[in-house]
């Protein structure tokens, strides 16, 4: 319910936020229920997101990007998350986990080859990190890659990988153990193109939320790719991943803020229109206080991700601030979804209402890109007590 004038945004940033909000309301929202019901990512909408330049927002123009920054990307993610978390996570993962590792750690040849289609939204990429035994403890990675002449031979499996099985997914960057030093695994990241023999995208999951987003388990059986597909320095894959994850937490915080605001907007509108015992529901002080708490959460969550994103774009340390933003915003999304559902009563339990979808969708915000327990650990370490 806040006006963007409340926040320290440039004119360009306000225009971008307004543009994506309009797109979300007019293009995304009308198809959200059906996409959720059928577990189908609407690729025509993804294509329109590409045409708007959303996938290229934080990248230089020389690679086909918009020449913006991470803050601009998060503004777009928040605006989408307000009406449809599945489309918002498609953008977030497509940029933060798909294109950003190539931009950060790829060779110039890799950037020139892979980035233009990703930044235009003509292609998507995924990041294969999580495994059955390696989630929060990503150092427990069991997928392996061994050198055989001029090739890597990859064996293992990944799970919960977003954007890994769409018709336009071009490749997956996988983390794999490539050696060992002093008893510690050396983990590298390797680009595996779709269609490579031995690389199988398994059937998608039947998820509680984010049901329109594309998410699959992956298996690798003697998958051979050129040695040149190594992304970054051998053995630095885990360290590089941690840097990417810190950035991604800001984007997830923006998505969660959008979801929290979407719940607030819907609840305010419903409370004004719903009549109970002859009066609007919004005249009840208990409902007023509930809505006031929801507004408070949105405001604080937005300030948190704004601060973390500004630090990141200024080249200053932001790891702890990103963790606090992700923790604050994901809590806000879950709490606002619960309260909005309560205000809607029985209607809040019906999937055709956005608050019901936000209620299901928001739980994963407390898990993905590092659980909230991991965020607490990051914050505690910064305090010197962990």
Active site residues: 369
Length of the chain: 386
Please give the Cα distance from 2 to 17 (Å, whole number).
13
- Strands 169-181, 124-128: pairing is parallel
DSSP annotation of 122: S
d(CA 345, CA 135): 36
Query: Measured at the alpha carbon of residue 148, what is the angle toward residues 242 and 199, in degrees to the nearest 5?
Result: 60
8 Å CB contact between 174 and 157: no
Residue (of 250, 263, 245) closest to 327 by Cα position: 250
- Nearest-angstrom CA–CA distance, 19 and 17: 5
Using alpha carbons, list the distances in angstroms from residue 380 to 146, 324, 373: 37, 11, 10
Q: CB within 8 A of 160, min separation 6: which ones?
A: 130, 205, 215, 217
Q: Are 112 and 102 in contact (CB under 8 A)?
A: no
Helices and strands in the chain, H and E counts: 12, 10
Q: What is the DSSP string of 190-250?
A: EEEETT-TTEEEPPPP--SS-TTS-EEEEEEEEEEEEGGGEESSTTBHHHHHHHHHHHHHH
């Amino acid at each position: 319910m806040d006006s963007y004038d409340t926040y320290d945004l440039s004119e360009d940033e306000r225009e971008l936020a307004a543009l994506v909000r309009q797109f979300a309301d007019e293009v995304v929202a009308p198809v959200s229920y059906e996409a959720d019901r059928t577990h189908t990512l609407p690729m025509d909408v993804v294509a329109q997101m590409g045409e708007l330049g959303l996938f290229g927002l934080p990248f230089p123009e020389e690679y086909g990007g918009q020449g913006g920054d991470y803050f601009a990307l998060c503004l777009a993610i928040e605006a989408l998350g307000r009406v449809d978390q599945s489309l918002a996570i498609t953008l977030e993962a497509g940029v933060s986990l798909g294109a950003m590792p190539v931009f950060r750690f790829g060779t110039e040849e890799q950037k020139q080859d892979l980035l233009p289609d990703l930044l235009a939204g003509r292609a998507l990429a995924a990041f294969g990190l999580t495994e059955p035994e390696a989630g929060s403890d990503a150092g427990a990675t069991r997928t392996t890659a061994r050198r055989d002449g001029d090739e890597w031979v990859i064996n293992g499996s990944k799970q919960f990988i977003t954007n890994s099985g769409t018709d336009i997914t071009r490749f997956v960057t996988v983390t794999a153990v490539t050696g060992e030093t002093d008893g510690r695994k050396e983990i590298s990241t390797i680009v595996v193109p779709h269609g490579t023999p031995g690389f199988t995208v398994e059937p998608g999951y039947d998820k509680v939320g984010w049901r329109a987003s594309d998410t699959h388990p992956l298996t690798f059986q003697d998958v051979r790719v050129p040695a040149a597909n190594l992304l970054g320095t051998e053995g630095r894959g885990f360290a590089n991943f941690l840097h990417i994850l810190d950035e991604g937490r800001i984007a997830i915080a923006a998505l969660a803020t959008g979801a929290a605001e979407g719940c607030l907007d819907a609840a305010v509108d419903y409370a004004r229109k719903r009549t109970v015992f002859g009066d609007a529901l919004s005249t009840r002080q208990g409902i007023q206080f509930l809505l006031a708490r929801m507004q408070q959460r949105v405001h604080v969550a937005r300030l948190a991700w704004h601060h973390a994103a500004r630090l990141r774009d200024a080249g200053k340390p932001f790891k702890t601030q990103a963790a606090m933003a992700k923790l604050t915003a994901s809590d806000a999304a879950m709490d606002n979804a619960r309260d909005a559902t309560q205000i809607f009563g029985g209607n809040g339990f019906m999937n055709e209402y956005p608050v019901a979808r936000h209620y299901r969708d928001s739980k994963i915000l407390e898990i993905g890109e590092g659980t909230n327990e991991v965020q607490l650990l990051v914050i505690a370490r910064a305090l010197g007590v962990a």
